[in-house]
Amino acid sequence: MSSTTLLGPQRFLTTAGSVVRGLGSEGPVAAVTAGWEEREGDDTELQEVMDGRVVNLRLHERMMSLLAQDAPFATAAITLRDAMDDLAGVYSIRLHHGLEGVYAVHRSTARADIVASALAEAVRLVQEVDRWYLRAVDQLHDELAATGALDDSGALQQHRGEVAETLSAASVLAIAGGHVGVLGRVLRLFEVAPPPELPVVAWSGGAMAVTARVVLFHDHTPTGFSDAGIWDRGLGRATGIIALPHARRRLRLDDRVRMSVLAGRFGDATCVLLDDGTRVALGADGALPAGTRVLATDGTVTALGVPTQPGAKP
């Protein structure tokens, strides 16, 4: 496995260019900026950061071209979008009720061992809702594939071939942030699957997109809390990780109950906090390096392999 580096947001503190240069690789940097949507091609600053080596895959532009020119594909894609919206709505209802049950048990004044048992079962039920949702997402994608709209689209196959060719000549794949839903959609559509030997540098929403499960979260919405929920599967390049960009701005890190539920719910993965300036270079086996800031299952923020300092702030 080649290197995989996850970075925090790049708006206020740019580190992506130095990370790419530090890889010591030469040649083109294949870039995905589709999360910027209509601003996808506005990559002048990215070119400067990457020393003029960027070859933009323009996946958003490719997708919009397909929708405009290939009617059967557009019909199938719209059907999938509408079904995903319906599924997300039902998932949100089930998820909200499940999490309300978890928080209610947390507030219970019953005997400690009874509360602990009930809490474990309540979290298990939420995890089952998450698994149900992912199974349903997979089924919807299978239904799209079964229509033949993807295989029958000559334009799509051409785009996929061009993307694969660019990746085969690249020395690095750089995935920028932005709208992670759009990112996930185009990465899947154009079968962007970087080979193990190709270094990947991804930041913010791009870091989310390279994990196995993309989790959306926001504790500071105009209407209050928003339940963290799975959106879709990611590329799976960084497994065993839930990427949480803008953690300080988007999470109530001082709410230990809420954070413990989040970390415990995804107990088979580590919740990694990706704030400005964060750099997480995964080991050859995908292991997180010492010093990585994560959510512990007790709801505290800790740095892996670093003793907790008394009175330290999240």
Higher pLDDT, 74 or 307: 74
Show the tokens assigned to 198: 């190709």
Instruction: Choose the final residue of a domain: 116, 146, 176.
Output: 146
In a domain, 308, yes or no: no
Mark whether 210 and 279 lie in a shared domain. Answer: yes
How far, in Å, CA of 125 to CA of 134, rounded? 14
Show the tokens assigned to 307: 């003793």
Mark whether 197 and 267 lie in a shared domain. Answer: yes
Mark whether 121 and 177 lie in a shared domain. Answer: no
How far, in Å, CA of 23 to CA of 201, rounded? 10
pTM: 0.92
Instruction: Choose the final residue of a domain: 91, 125, 146.
Output: 146
How far, in Å, CA of 271 to CA of 295, rounded? 5
Mean pLDDT, residues 237-245: 95
Mark whether 49 and 197 lie in a shared domain. Answer: yes
How far, in Å, CA of 314 to CA of 306, rounded? 14
Closest CA to 130 of 33, 262, 18: 262
Tell me the pLDDT tens digit for each residue of 17-72.
999 999 988 899 999 999 999 999 999 999 999 999 999 999 999 999 999 999 99
Show the tokens assigned to 108: 């219970």
Quote the pLDDT of residue 285: 85
In a domain, 241, yes or no: yes
Question: In this model, does residue 151 exceed pLDDT 70?
Answer: yes
Question: In this model, does residue 195 exceed pLDDT 70?
Answer: yes
Question: In this model, does residue 191 exceed pLDDT 70?
Answer: yes
Mark whether 100 and 236 lie in a shared domain. Answer: no
Higher pLDDT, 156 or 225: 156
Quote the pLDDT of residue 160: 97
Question: In this model, does residue 256 exceed pLDDT 80?
Answer: yes
pLDDT above 90: percentage of residues in the chain: 89
Mark whether 164 and 100 lie in a shared domain. Answer: no
Show the tokens assigned to 302: 């800790």
| DSSP string covering 202-235 | EETHHHHHTBSEEEEEEEEETTEEEEEEEEEE--
In a domain, 312, yes or no: no
Mark whether 52 and 141 lie in a shared domain. Answer: no
Count of Cβ atoms closer than 10 Å to residue 52 Cβ: 8
Mark whether 142 and 157 lie in a shared domain. Answer: no
Closest CA to 201 of 308, 36, 50, 13: 50
How far, in Å, CA of 247 to CA of 232, rounded? 20
Show the tokens assigned to 33: 């900026």
Give me Rg for the CA atoms of the chain.
Answer: 20
Mark whether 183 and 260 lie in a shared domain. Answer: yes
What element of type H or E holds 17?
helix 16-22
Quote the pLDDT of residue 286: 87
In a domain, 72, yes or no: no
Sign of CA dihedral 152, 153, 158, 160: negative
Q: Using the 8-state DSSP alphabet, how is residue 49 labeled?
A: H
Mark whether 159 and 276 lie in a shared domain. Answer: yes
Mark whether 46 and 89 lie in a shared domain. Answer: no
Burial class (CB in 10 A: 0-12, 13-18, 19+), 42: exposed
Quote the pLDDT of residue 306: 76
SS3 79: helix
Quote the pLDDT of residue 50: 94
- Domain span at residue 285 reads 4-66+153-303
In a domain, 94, yes or no: yes
How far, in Å, CA of 251 to CA of 299, rounded? 12
Residues contacting 130, CB < 8 A, separation 6+: 95, 229, 230, 265
Number of domains in the chain: 2
pLDDT above 70: percentage of residues in the chain: 95
Instruction: Choose the final residue of a domain: 105, 125, 146.
Output: 146
Question: In this model, does residue 207 exceed pLDDT 60?
Answer: yes
Higher pLDDT, 209 or 220: 209
In a domain, 71, yes or no: no
Backbone angles phi, psi at 178, to 5 degrees: 110, -150
Domain of 259: which CATH number? Answer: 3.40.50.880
Tell me the pLDDT tens digit for each residue of 260-295.
999 999 988 999 999 999 999 999 888 999 999 999
Closest CA to 251 of 219, 299, 229, 208: 219
Tell me the pLDDT tens digit for each residue of 60-110.
999 999 999 999 999 999 999 999 999 999 999 999 999 999 999 999 999
Quote the pLDDT of residue 223: 67
What is the CA angle 211-199-201, rounded to 5?
55
In a domain, 313, yes or no: no
How far, in Å, CA of 35 to CA of 190, rounded? 14
Mark whether 8 and 102 lie in a shared domain. Answer: no
